[in-house]
Structure 1
Amino acid sequence: MNAKLLLTLPFISCAATANTNPNLEIYSQKVSQTIYKGQRVNIPVNLTLPADRRHLATLGFDSNQLRSMDCKVKIYDGANSLKHNLDCRAAHGLHTFATPVDYWQDNYRAVVSLYNADFSTSYQRFEGNFRFNFGESTRIDNDHLPTWWKKTYDVVGLDANGDYDGDGFSLIQEYYGNSMPNDADSHPDFPPVIDFDETHSAGASLTVSFGQQISQWAEITPTYNKKVKSLELMVENTQNGRNQSVVAFVHDQDNNRVYSSYLKWPGKLSVALDEPVEVEKLRIQFTARQYSSNVRPTYKIKLNATFTE
């Protein structure tokens, strides 16, 4: 496991009104809404982004800061997991994200949630603007630093483990520690740990009748790391029966076995490979069966594969 001493911050807040970084692309959402007393309004923000701009860097906002108006911005990833629940009650501000590698993904979406807790008047009119600032999600130097950040501080081509400004911290530490790599007086905010391994998943849902054996294939394509180091099988079962099993055979893109044996539920659910195996993609064959005549279970199956550099 390649681990460096770094810890990620959820976000940092400071006063600001606009993004002036030319290496970030702004997606703006204006909100003009009449909100009655006791009413909550949820405004969806579907972020349509260019293919190379999917690294969420900052969120800027400004509003008329109404009395007793609660304001939250909830940001979800492509798997619909809540990544951030941010406070936007101030008239203006900027949230800066310490975005780890797994935030480089498709299908970000956000919800602006407003609640009018002022019961002294019938309604209030909210006027605001929210700016989601995205940077290039590519990598220039094949390291773990995003293109937009390296361009911002003019460190393109430099070793991510090097100390650019002589303050005792590497570029990697400066990035994940939310400090500036070109300022010797700017230091990481915390002692940092980040694992640069990446984990991807694929799954299937198989409904099996008595005496039946069915199979389904799935694929996993790693993003940056190409060497698979461990595999984990996870199974949820809707009904219990006699002699049930789920088996996963794992192959590479050429249909060669990555793991010479197989994972099985119930049974062997995880394995760490003796040596990481380099692949372009994984092809997984899930096979399920059961031998109880009075049940027809559905197996919800997921295989997690962890890749290293």
Structure 2
Amino acid sequence: MKKPLLLVLPFLSLSAFANTNPHLDIYNKSISQTIYKGQRVNIPVKFNLPTDRRHLVTLGFDNNEPRAVDCKIEIYNAANQRVHNLDCRPGRGEHAFETPIAYWQDNYRAIISLYNADFTQGSQRFEGNFRFNYGESTSIDNDHLPTWWKKTYDVVGLDANTDHDGDNFTLLQEYYGNSKPNDATSFPDHDPVIDFDETLSAGTSIYARFGTPVTKTVEITPYNNKKVKSLELIVETTANARNQSVVAFFYNENNEQIYPSYLKYPSGNLSVFFDQPVEVQKLKIKLTAKHFSSNIHARYDTKINAVFTE
């Protein structure tokens, strides 16, 4: 079976850009910009979305397609890692992201980058509109299928292992294989490898002076999976502090300690794997940093990776 990573769908008219799916929310970014010859313009896009809209489904665009203007969209996660690099040079189009899409957390951002490579005239005007379509990321049936998808195809209430259209593929296979569960002629475009474990992270920077411990608390709220399977502590420090340490304690939403010990940097356990996953609605992490080197104001960049399972 074919396995395209990206679909580009042409449109025949401007009216085709209207969002006809009532279960998707559109985050619009309009641009009207004069770009001089040889100039590159970077337009940042910060997403401010409700907590249940973390599922990027499609990204549509249309522009006046000025001559020799390069257009691309780069999307970064909270750790400043580029997760998507999309070409928007064609005047009109829509990118459909391959499922499964990771549930997006806060601090995701996009950069729309425009470069005028036409040196035959002093400047050009770029007129464009970019539509980031987000769907509900909740799982109303607790079966790992997002709400927007089940509502779109009217399969709310059906078990994920149901073959709704009789084509020998379950809802779960249709979703992860980019096919329609209500069309017997629509088949998954690849053999999906389905892994329901979710890795979520939280971190912070801690500044500590000689002999004075500093404590900060961070939280992780899981989406579908509510059982903690493993925990990992990662620390980077900018100062060569002696006798330094960062200690992490873990609690649930009721402030009950879910791990009887702790993770400690640099001399201690930096990770733990639970024999029996621990259920939480919210994971709270208390981080304490300290060192004993005079005349040093040490900085500790700390990060917790938590793997959640069913």
1:13 to 5, 8, 21: 8
d(CA) in 2 for partners of 1:47, 1:294? 41
Kept after mapping to 1: 8 A contact 2:55/2:101: no
Query: Retained in 2: the 8 A contact 1:77–1:103?
Result: no
Q: C-alpha distance in 2, partners of 1:99/1:76?
A: 18
Q: Higher mean Cα deviation, 162-171 or 18-27?
A: 18-27
Residue 4 of structure 1 corresponds to which residue in structure 2? none
Which structure 2 residues correspond to residues 35-114 of structure 1 after superposition, within 5 A? 35-77=35-77, 80-100=80-100, 102-106=102-106, 108-114=108-114
C-alpha deviations, 1:113-139, integer Å up to 9, x for none? 211111122222223222222222332
* Residue type of the alignment partner of 1:34: T
Instruction: Check conservation: 1:140, 1:146, Cα contact below 8 A.
Output: yes
Aligned to 2:122: 122
Partner of 2:154: 154
> Is the Cα–Cα contact under 8 Å of residues 205 and 300 in structure 1 kept in the other structure?
yes
Task: Output one character per residue of 1:82-112: Cα deviation in whole Å (capped at 9) or x when no partner.
Answer: 3322111112111001253533434554332
> In the alignment, what sits opposite 1:193?
193
After the TM superposition, which of the residue ranges 87-96 and 167-176 deviates more from structure 2? 167-176
Tell me if structure 2 keeps the 8 A contact 1:55–1:105: no
SS at match of 2:102: helix
CA-CA distance at 1:187 after TM superposition: 1.7
1:102 alignment partner, SS class: coil
**TM-score of the two chains, using structure 2 as the length reference:** 0.85
Q: What letter matches 1:105 in structure 2?
A: Q
- What does residue 173 of structure 2 align with? 173
Contact kept, 8 Å, 2:70 with 2:116, in 1: the verdict is yes
- 1:207-286 map, 5 Å: 207-266=207-266, 267-286=268-287
Deviation larger for 21-30 or 111-120: 21-30
Secondary structure at the aligned position of 1:185 is classed as coil
Q: CA-to-partner distance for each residue in 1:235-276, whole Å, 9 max, x for gaps?
A: 112223433222222222334331222212122111101111
1-structure distance, mates of 2:245, 2:78: 31
Number of residue-to-residue matches in the alignment: 302
Computed over aligned residues only, the root mean square deviation of the Cα atoms, in angstroms, reads 2.6
**1:70 Cα deviation after fit:** 0.8
Corresponding residue SS for 1:103:
coil
TM-score scaled to structure 1, two decimals?
0.86
1:9 shift after superposition: 6.8
Match of 2:173, SS?
Answer: helix
One-letter amino acid of the counterpart of residue 271, structure 1: V
Compared with structure 1, are the counterparts of its residues 275 and 98 closer, same or farther at alpha carbon in structure 2 (3 Å cutoff)? same
> What amino acid is the match of 1:31?
I
Which ranges of structure 1 fall in alignment gaps of 5 or more residues? 1-7
